[in-house]
Structures are given as C-alpha cells and as structure tokens.
Structure 1
Amino acid sequence: MGNDSQKDTNDTSALHDTSLHLADTDGDFPVHWKSGSLKYSDFKLMTEGGTAKLFLCRDINLHREVVYKTLHPEMRESEIETQRFLREARVTAKLAHPGTVPVYEMGRDRNGDMYFTMKRVRGRNLRDIIQGLRDSSEKITELFSLDVLIDSLIQICQTVAYAHNHGVIHRDLKPANILIGGFGEVLVLDWGLAKVWGETDLEHEPLPKDADPVLTPAGRRYGTPLYMAPELARGDAHIDGRVDVFSLGNILFEILTLKQLLHGKTAQDVADNLLGQALLKPSEAAPDRSIPATLEAICCRALEKDPRERYPSVQSMLDALKAYRLAGTSLG
C-alpha cells in the first residue's frame, strides 16, 4: 500500500524527485476547481494484486503525487472484498499514527467504482530486504544490519500495540506488509483484514486445498497462510490480539534466520505442518548464524502454538524487545 521501492536511497535523482519546487507551492487556485476523482490526473500503474490496483497519480489541486487504490472490476461485486476495501481505508484513516500511511480521501469515480487515496511512501518492504540479505546484497547488508531490523521490529510492535489499544487486530502481519523508508520510518500496511472491536466472532471457512500459501486469499477473512497463527489455521471462532503476537514472532524468526518458519506447496500443507509438527527454534533453523539467546527466547515465546503460552499482548512482546535493546547489547 503506497509502496514505492527505491534501489538506492542516496540516489541524487530520487532526492530531486522528492524536493519541493516553486511550481508545486505557488500559483492560482481556479474558481472552477475539480473535486472527487476528477482532481486526479496522470495515472501510472504502480502494482496490482489479486483484488486491487494501485496507481500513482497527481492531485491537481494540491500539486502533489498520491497513491490511488481501486478494486479490480471482477471484485466489485464481492461483498467480502468490498467490505475489506472499505475497512482498509477507514481503519487506516482512523489509526492516525506515525506507523500507518495517511489516507487522504475515499469516494467513487464517474463509473461509481470505489477508490481511496493515500500518501505516496518511498521505501523497501521487509520481504525484499530479507531476500536481499539472503542473496548477500552488499547494499542491503550495509543498510540493514540486525540492529536496524530489530529496531524496525520495535516500531512495528509499537504500531500494532497502538492499534490493539484502539480495538483493531491486524490479522495479516507479514514482511510484505512492512515498509521501511529511507529515513528510518517503519510503516505497517494493508489493514483490510483487520478485526475491529464489536465484530461478531465467526467460524472461519476452511482453507482451499490448492490455495497459494504466499498470498492473502481473495474472498476470505483470514490472512496469509505462511504467517497465520494456529487459531486461524484451525478456523477458531474466537481470536484475539495474540494472533498478531504469533505473526510478529514469525517475522522475528525470518529476521534472525533469513528463512521462512512455515513451508508447504499449498495453504492446506502449511496449515497441516503448522498444526501437526513442532516448530524449529531460530538457532536450529540457521545454525550457521549467530543468534542472540535472548532474542531467540523472545521469538520462541511469541511462536507458542498455545495462545496462553505466548506473550499476553503485543505490548508485552514490545517491552521484552525494548528491554533487550536498553541492555546495550550489540545484536550484530
């Protein structure tokens, strides 16, 4: 959501691209001005997923670039995807926090199709960062030491704890939904599957046997199979903030090992492995890496299959990570 990856944050052209110019700030405002979707021009496709497209476009009134999101035509009749789209816009707009992307506007275009606009954010998602570390990219390794990634995880936990305090559970936390900007900002994206306070607990539909475990399934209320908590894999009716604790533990596992915690060719394979097999400790999964024992303990507690054995809240996990950093131990 609003992800505009930069290969080199020090690139001179990127600096000029984000600098303010007089033409952007001065000039007359026309008497007959445009509103709604008509005030956006110069659309360029940024990315598209299974349910929606993101465009980069220009707000001709404020002279700024924004990200414009709209559903694929075939998804516009889907009640679940429409609700997810509305929820993403409204939850993100109401969770005004440094760790979320500002939403500017929601409306319908001339065809009656819904859209919302948000701030354009420049950075790299955590999935690509971890992949770069796996590939021993010199630039990525220089920019993203273990210290930096743990500090980023602390910011992620702060955002999620803030959301929980406001009655919102994310339910789809994963590296692809974390954006790290060139100035150290860390953003949690894609709140479309969030559970909000007062929502009726419903038993989840079973996983389709051939669903892609890497993607958030269209038309479903659960998150990405590779990062879901056991409660979601089982289809439990009642869930709470500890599902996000598990996903944060999963993210920490990848940061520490540069490997995925769960595996399987299909979503059902992943769920079967999650529910039926013991999870490896980070040091077992990556014996060649120097993994601090305290961080491994934090990771393992967050990944307990029984929610009662996990951290009782994201705030508790956050406190543990902060305590580790405040101890002054170098992580890398």
Structure 2
Amino acid sequence: MPDPPRDPPDAPLLAALTDASFERYWKAGALKYRNFRPLAEGGTATLQTCVDANLGREVVFKALHPHLADDEGEQQRFLREARVTALIAHPGTVPVYELGRRADGSLYFTMKKLVGQNLRELLMSLAAKDRAVEPDWPMPRLVDVAISAAHTVAHAHSRGVIHRDLKPANILVGAFQQTTVLDWGLAKVRMDAPAAADDAAAGAGPPLAELQTPEPPRGPDAVGHELTRPGRRYGTPLYMSPEQARGDADLDERTDVYNLGSVLYEILALKNLIVGNELEEVMDRVLNQPPPPPSAVAPAGREVPPDLEACCLRALAKDPADRQPTMTAFADELLAHRRAGRRGRRRPWLR
C-alpha cells in the first residue's frame, strides 16, 4: 500500500510578504479572500483553501452547500460549529479566525490551515506494514497521540461540550508531533455544565451555554437551542457508543470516553473495533456483542501491553457506569502506562 500523500511543510517566511505595505482602503470580510482552491467536501459544507490578502496567509474557508444556505436548521448547526470551535480554544483545537457572511448573505467561517496526516491514514499505513512509516511510529508515540487528544477533549468537557464524533479520521498529527482534534460539527453543548464553578475558578472559563446566545428560530419548523435532537443517532456508526446507537437523549462525557476508547483499540490492534457491511449488523455489535481483546486480533508479533488493554476495554464498556468516569481519568491511565515505561525500558514495545 503506497504511503498516503502528505501536505508539504509550511514554506519559510519572506520579508517581501511580511514587510509589504498595507492599503489605506483595505478589504474587509469575505472580500479579502482570494485564490480559492477546493480542499474537501462533506454532506453539508465545502472546505476551500484561500489567501487572506491583508495578512498574506493561507487559511481554510468553510461554507454551507448552496442548496442548504437557506436551511435554518443547518445554519444554526453551522453557527454552533464555528462558535464552539472558537470558544473552546486550546492547543489541540483549530484556531478560528472569522465568522461572517458573503455578499449573497450565506455564512462562512475561516480557520487555520493545518498541515499533517490524520490518524486513520497513519494506522492504515502501519497495518499495511509500511516500512517508511513503522520506524517513526512505535506504540509509545501512538499512545502519546491518544493522550493529547484526551486532554483536548477533557478541556472541551470542562466547557460543557461533548464532541460525539471522535475517530481516527478526526485526529490530525502534525509534522512536529502536535495533535489536533478536528470536526466539532456534531458537538453537543450542555445547558448546565456540572463543573462550571470549579472550572471557571481554575481559569477554564464559563460553560459555552452561557456564552452562546443566538436568537432561536421561530415558527413551526423552529430548531431551537437543542440542535441535536433526542432520539436521533449522531456520530459515525463504526465508532458510536451504545447510547449513541440507541439514540439516548441525555448523552454525557462518557460517550466521548467510549469513542476515544475505540480509537485506542485501533492503535493497539491496528484493526477496527467494529466491522460490518450492514447498519443492522454494526448496531448489533455495538449494542450487544462484547469486543474481543485487542491482543486477540492484533497482527502477529504486535505486543499489546496488558495495562493499555485493560484501559481500552474499560472505556469500551457497554454500560457508561463501568467506564472511566471522565476523560481526564482515561488520560491519567494512559499517562500512568507511559510513566511506567519510562522508568523501565526493558519492555519490547518501547524499543
């Protein structure tokens, strides 16, 4: 299997760009963006790269598909994604630069253009025994990626936000070992963040429900503040928690613990936790069938540390009460493994 294409590293800065004059009559809003190029396309939105003419930097420009531009529900979800991503600012999230409207009134927001490889591509290369990738990605480095992602999501939880779509494709690893959790489009904002007072006192800020106050839509088709409705399944089926698969109304942070546990499972086993060709088959495995231990399905010769396997299987418990109670507790178990490894380097997976 060929190595997935990777973006080139950022080019060196040039004085001709940083020291250029600034027009007296400068462009504002969407008018300052030029040189648009397609980047990616999803079910509801497009991503393009473009240049911010005022700053001379390349950014990512996200906008709803034209046929959804007047869909009130999709507009509200789009606004929530932009604001959530901006308001949970953390080294492990994408910086949002601007939220605005184009001349036709359609919404857009811009964010930092990241360079790197998503964890899904990386794990596929490792599963294929890509010799160009294997030496750079031993087990400890992969675990460090999971720890960084867990800390980012724990920060979001402290702000009252649940991601609900954690999977390897939504975790980006940069050229300088930075880890970024992407795609907060399915995030749920809790109206009453349970630890808000403690987190605010510690400098984490108030829950986002207090910061987000868009006027709710009116009329018979109004979506309201609860943009992700109870009884609907949100997330990617292969990575859904049992409560997501059931469409439970009151999901909490332990759903993200399960989702990241499924990511850890792939890191350990280099295979998906859930496989299936039909949705009914996938749902049955999510809801009813206990997962095989990662060590039982990992490729021959890939040693799975027992403490990591125990941490992973705890996160994947069908009953949320049997999982780690918080994302911080999940991260702490991974950190304990890494610290033990640094104290005793005799373990073969640390070579």
On whether the aligned pair clears a TM of 0.5, the verdict is yes
Selected match of 2:124 from 111, 122, 131? 131
Selected match of 2:324 from 283, 308, 311? 311
Q: Is the 8 A contact 2:6 2:117 kept in 1?
A: no
Tell whether 2:32 aligns with 1:39: yes
Quickly say closer, same or farther: Cα 1:259–1:79, change in 2 above 3 A: farther
What does 1:1-332 align with in structure 2 at a 5 Å threshold?
7=5, 14-15=8-9, 17-198=10-191, 202-205=229-232, 222-286=234-298, 288=300, 289-327=302-340, 328=342, 330=347, 331-332=349-350
Quickly say closer, same or farther: Cα 1:8–1:265, change in 2 above 3 A: closer
Q: Is the 8 A contact 1:6 1:123 kept in 2?
A: no
Q: Report how many residues are paired.
A: 308
1:246 is paired with a residue whose SS is helix
Q: By how many angstroms is 1:7 displaced? A: 4.2
Unaligned stretches of 5+ residues in structure 2: 192-224
Distance 2:229 2:45 in 1: 25
Q: Is the 8 A contact 1:43 1:55 kept in 2?
A: yes
Q: Could you report, residue by residue, the CA deviation over 1:23-48 in whole angstroms, capped at 9, with x for unpaired residues? A: 22012111111000000000010111
Q: Is the 8 A contact 1:92 1:191 kept in 2?
A: yes
1:137 is paired with a residue whose SS is coil
- Percent identity between the aligned chains? 50
Q: Is the 8 A contact 1:24 1:64 kept in 2?
A: no
Quickly say closer, same or farther: Cα 1:6–1:92, change in 2 above 3 A: farther
> 2:119 is aligned with what amino acid?
L
Q: By how many angstroms is 1:264 displaced? A: 1.9
Q: By how many angstroms is 1:82 displaced? A: 2.2
For normalisation by structure 2, the TM-score amounts to: 0.84
Distance 1:50 1:96 in 2: 25
Q: Could you report, residue by residue, the CA deviation over 1:64-88 in whole angstroms, capped at 9, with x for unpaired residues? A: 1101011112233434432222111
Distance 2:64 2:137 in 1: 34
Q: Is the 8 A contact 2:270 2:299 kept in 1?
A: no
Distance 2:87 2:102 in 1: 23
> Which stretch of structure 1 is more off in the superposition, 161-170 or 68-77?
68-77
Q: Is the 8 A contact 2:231 2:248 kept in 1?
A: yes
Quickly say closer, same or farther: Cα 1:49–1:202, change in 2 above 3 A: closer
Quickly say closer, same or farther: Cα 1:283–1:73, change in 2 above 3 A: same
